[in-house]
Structure 1
Amino acid sequence: MNKFLFKHIDNTGLVLFRVVFGALIAIEAFGAIATGWLRRTLIEPDFTFNFIGFEFLQPLPGNGMYFYFVLMGIFGLLVMVGYKYRFSMFCYALMWSCVYLMQKTSYNNHYYLMMLLCWLMVFLPAHRWFSLDAMFSSKIKSPSMPRWVLLVLILQVWIVYTYASVAKWYPDWLDATVTELFMRGKADYWLIGGFLQLDWVHWCIAYVGILFDLLIVPLLLWKRTRLLGFCISIFFHLFNSIVFQIGIFPYMSIAFALFFFSPELLQRRFLPKKAFYSAGEISIPKHKPLLIAVFSIYFMFQIGLPLRHWVFPDDVLWTEEGHRLSWRMMLRGKGGSMTVFTKDKNDPDATLKRYDYGKLLSKKQRRSVKTKPDLIWQLAQRIEEAEAKEGRDVSVFMDVRVKVNGGEYHRLIDKEVDLAAEEWQHFKHHDWILPSPENYHKKTKK
């Protein structure tokens, strides 16, 4: 075990990944400003739909978030050049975690993965070569790293891809319904829009997605298929970048190949002045038990969290319970309609009054809230608070209908339940989410 985990190997791959990762997270921060993502997500809304339990995390007032993201981008650049690396990486990880947890309107698994990688990189010795830290301190400089560093990164990537593949093993993905739905919105793309509407393309995207996620790590691990896997990875991720426009994730995924290629090859191609490390010394750290315990617990959670939706009744595609933090990427399309009613608790003769919830939300929030039960519940709490400020104590009822993967609309929420009076249960099914109708995601044949 000591030889397997603590034998030192050349650190070229990790060093190069730090440079690429630092550049990408800096681009993510500055790009959020340039593309308007920051304005739409954190500036325009009066409040954000935070992860429940993190209500204290709200955007800075005024233009404060612009300065926040500029500072975050600077920390990304410092990570790239390896200056005050651990401090810079820690600051970026903390700041990005706050951004991630303070809003769910723009939730995606790529942001979650970036948060995990940021925290992992804080504890990894990625600054011991080709960095300003190593230049200024000979004590830091080292051409090697313990093998557990490489294993941790590969295992994290493997978990992500494997669960992403398994999550696609359901009827609407297997019959290309989902990919057809996604491609329908790309018809106006220059040059490739018409191509993306072809039926055989939908089937190819569906099954290539399953096979790629399932096999890419084994292909990269095996020397004989490594180059093939890398070429496939480049094509796959560039295709996703062009078609789905998902930010830095495709390029970060391509950079994962640095963990699989021979460090000797990487050193020769990218850092020719660096002497290749091959001594293979075994150095057992004093904190070995703590190190093993921490990463064992971490990976138990990483393996267990994506499975938690099985402990909830009903289909996760319908209830959304257990959907987040589970690598359920690009799996379904949902649409919804919602009508909100309030009723004065202190007036025995009061009737339901239609409530204009749109005045509380930004345009982006209005699109997101209609299909996700946790956002619907949070909106009910906000409406109750807003009415209380006006001196009214109200019940809040929601008439919500959703359609999944182009199917028919079905009622999602029990409209007789006062959602403002309900408690949120993190580990328990919410009975006010109605059971999924049979074949709810299939269109009715006429």
Structure 2
Amino acid sequence: MLAHFLFKKIDNAQLIVFRIFYGLLVSAECYGAIATGWVRRTLVEPKFTFSFIGFEWLQPLPGNGMYIYFAIMGTLGLMIALGYRYRFSALAFAVMWTGVYLMQKTSYNNHYYLLMLLAYIMAFFPAHKDASLDAKRNPSLRSHSMFNWIRWTIILQLFIVYTYASVAKLYADWLDFSMIDVLMQSKKDYFLIGELLQQKWVHKIVAIFGILFDLLIVPALLWKPTRKIAFVLSIFFHLFNSIVFQIGIFPYLSLAFTLFFFEPQTIRNIFLKTKAVKIDKTIVIPKSKNRILVILGIYFVIQISLPLRHHFFVDDVLWTEEGHRLSWRMMLRSRSGTIRYRVVNKETEKVTYIDLKEYLTAKQRNRVACYPDFSWQFAQRLKKEFAEKGEDVQVFVDNKVKVNQGSYHEFIDPEVDLASVPWKHFSHNEWILPLPKE
């Protein structure tokens, strides 16, 4: 029964049109990153780049290398949109975007993670079978159908993202609207809407609407009677996010996802201008069925499990940050902190206090002061630098952090040598002090 549902043939108009939007949007993201200075600020100017732990070997290219890197990715996006050498261009973009994602986390964003997942999904989907240069060059490639599991892979991925985003908002600082107040304080100088965004009644609407939208949007789009109103609300929600929070292409990519919820012929009428196509609905189970089901099963088990892992760590993820990334916990907290590094020579006991301005950008200094993995990584960096000068050192920090509108509390144990302790990916790092009860 499940096999018949997943492997029945359906019209592929949704996937074909999505490919075009996807390619254009990722091209805009990459060229825009150059034009807006994001590449310069994040990957060119810093002396030291914070990669994901375990990927320290993955560093930005020297000189103008990262500008060329992003220009290549932008060009690959155009090739994806045109359906030109699609398999190569889609997979090459996925690999290159993964490189960018892993080589820097100072500007970490859940949306970058979503784009990485989507890039690999699209690389293996038959999204070049129509309205593409590949199909024009090779007419035998052309097809108007795809398996049903392709559409439902996208829908289930979206359901996971939105559902976890909604559930994560069900905590005190969101429900008493204080987190919304924090988010909006930096928007008070916005033209026309700045003062409006400071109103308490607006904060209440944003908080409640955010929870309900994330929780209900996928079911509402799936159900035909509510589909149109859900689409209108999606336009409002994502344009609001684009204007207020300025998060790049992702509100528009989210709108592009709604293609998978509308009737394929509606998509054809609007975007492809083609008549109804005849789909052979004979169920033919491919020989690769079991392999496809196993891959999808493993993938979605991981996607469902990763956002739950913080429940198995000590203390609250909002405080420790352990298990926060890869969990669709979006716009949930604001952190600020102070930190001072002291380096102690093991032989002479000479103490050196580090001026972070000599090493890090302002944004990096903020991350080091607030996030434990950044603090730990910079301690490793200092140990390596002193070792190159022939000194064996210990690295201690005096660190205080506050979350949202709370109070500052000591965050990292000042008696622990951060340069000598390992980083634990799957369990609690004991040198992160517990949050005192206020």
TM-score (norm 1): 0.96
Q: Which amino acid aligns with 1:237?
A: H
Measure, in 2, the Cα distance between the counterparts of 1:103 and 1:73. 19
5 Å matches for 1:215-254?
Answer: 215-254=216-255
Measure, in 2, the Cα distance between the counterparts of 1:283 and 1:29. 40
5 Å matches for 1:163-202?
Answer: 163-202=164-203
CA-atom RMSD in angstroms: 1.0
Measure, in 2, the Cα distance between the counterparts of 1:240 and 1:426. 32
Matched with 1:292 is 293
1:104 lines up with 2:102 in the alignment? no
Tell me, yes or no, if the aligned pair for 2:399 and 2:411 is still in contact at 8 Å: yes
5 Å matches for 1:301-316?
Answer: 301-316=302-317
Tell me, yes or no, if the aligned pair for 2:144 and 2:279 is still in contact at 8 Å: no
1:342 lines up with 2:333 in the alignment? no
Tell me, yes or no, if the aligned pair for 2:321 and 2:371 is still in contact at 8 Å: yes
1:30 lines up with 2:23 in the alignment? no
Task: Return the offset for 1:274.
Answer: 4.9
Matched with 2:84 is 83
State the SS of the aligned residue for 1:397: strand
Matched with 1:373 is 372
Measure, in 1, the Cα distance between the counterparts of 2:350 and 2:318. 34
State the SS of the aligned residue for 1:419: coil
Measure, in 2, the Cα distance between the counterparts of 1:187 and 1:2. 53
Matched with 1:398 is 397
Task: Return the offset for 1:351.
Answer: 4.9
1:322 lines up with 2:320 in the alignment? no
Tell me, yes or no, if the aligned pair for 1:387 and 1:393 is still in contact at 8 Å: yes
State the SS of the aligned residue for 2:163: helix
Deviations for 1:250-286, whole angstroms, at most 9, x for unmatched residues? 0000111100001111112221225423432323222
State the SS of the aligned residue for 2:419: helix
Tell me, yes or no, if the aligned pair for 2:368 and 2:375 is still in contact at 8 Å: yes
1:259 lines up with 2:260 in the alignment? yes
Deviations for 1:27-63, whole angstroms, at most 9, x for unmatched residues? 1110110011101111011221111111111000111
Task: Return the offset for 1:162.
Answer: 0.3
Q: Which moved more, 1:162-171 or 1:259-268?
A: 259-268
State the SS of the aligned residue for 2:397: strand
Tell me, yes or no, if the aligned pair for 2:163 and 2:215 is still in contact at 8 Å: yes
State the SS of the aligned residue for 1:45: coil
Q: Which amino acid aligns with 1:297?
A: I
Matched with 2:148 is 147
Deviations for 1:70-101, whole angstroms, at most 9, x for unmatched residues? 00110010000000001100000000001001
5 Å matches for 1:386-425?
Answer: 386-425=385-424
Tell me, yes or no, if the aligned pair for 1:240 and 1:246 is still in contact at 8 Å: yes
Q: Which moved more, 1:279-288 or 1:230-239?
A: 279-288
Measure, in 2, the Cα distance between the counterparts of 1:273 and 1:297. 37
State the SS of the aligned residue for 1:401: strand
Deviations for 1:337-391, whole angstroms, at most 9, x for unmatched residues? 11110111012xx253322233121222112221110010000000111111222
Measure, in 1, the Cα distance between the counterparts of 2:207 and 2:425. 32
Task: Return the offset for 1:105.
Answer: 0.1
Aligned residues: 437
Tell me, yes or no, if the aligned pair for 1:2 and 1:282 is still in contact at 8 Å: no
State the SS of the aligned residue for 1:399: strand
Matched with 1:358 is 357
Measure, in 2, the Cα distance between the counterparts of 1:324 and 1:367. 17
Q: Which amino acid aligns with 2:355?
A: D
Deviations for 1:81-127, whole angstroms, at most 9, x for unmatched residues? 00000110000000000100111100010000000000000111111
Measure, in 2, the Cα distance between the counterparts of 1:406 and 1:39. 32
Runs of 4+ aligned structure 1 residues displaced above 3 Å come to none
Deviations for 1:196-227, whole angstroms, at most 9, x for unmatched residues? 01000011111100000000001000000000
1:114 lines up with 2:139 in the alignment? no
Measure, in 2, the Cα distance between the counterparts of 1:126 and 1:274. 19
Tell me, yes or no, if the aligned pair for 2:12 and 2:146 is still in contact at 8 Å: yes
Task: Return the offset for 1:3.
Answer: 1.7
Measure, in 1, the Cα distance between the counterparts of 2:275 and 2:395. 65
Q: Which amino acid aligns with 1:108?
A: N
State the SS of the aligned residue for 2:269: helix
Measure, in 2, the Cα distance between the counterparts of 1:73 and 1:281. 40
Unpaired runs of 5+ residues, structure 2, are none
Matched with 1:442 is none
Q: Which amino acid aligns with 2:118?
A: L
Measure, in 2, the Cα distance between the counterparts of 1:86 and 1:52. 30
Tell me, yes or no, if the aligned pair for 1:13 and 1:266 is still in contact at 8 Å: yes
Measure, in 1, the Cα distance between the counterparts of 2:316 and 2:234. 32
Measure, in 2, the Cα distance between the counterparts of 1:391 and 1:306. 43
TM-score (norm 2): 0.98
Unpaired runs of 5+ residues, structure 1, are 440-446
Matched with 1:434 is 433
